[in-house]
Structure 1
Amino acid sequence: MFCKLTEELQLTQNEIDVLLFLHNAAPLNTASDIARYRAMSKSMILKSVDALYRKGYLSYETDY
């Protein structure tokens, strides 16, 4: 289903999964949240988040 979208947007399936989770599961927005509910490893999530940041899809914000 996402094959055309991954080509069009130059995103991996994992990157799309992270974006969809962040959009649909607010306010859950940490790597731990994604790992818990999407059964992805934290290292894969961090790699995907970094790629999405570099591509301009995400920005970082520090929690205090």
Structure 2
Amino acid sequence: MDFAQRTIGIARLNVEEGGRPCATVIVKDWDERRLPMRYEERDTAVDVYRLWQERNDGKRRAADVPID
């Protein structure tokens, strides 16, 4: 299983349901993880953020999230 792609899929679903583009899939125990995590840009992940911006008129905040 491509865990990065699975995480991107969860983030996309979250945006489609009105949430923010966030998701986490943990595949190793805490003592086996490498920190800091490496950066790996994927076009599908960038597309999720573009979808979120389209749904929020390009604003960095979601329309229905209170500011205070």
The answer, yes or no, to whether TM exceeds 0.5 is no
Q: Give the TM-score of the pair, scaled to structure 2.
A: 0.33
Between structures 1 and 2, the one with greater helix share:
1
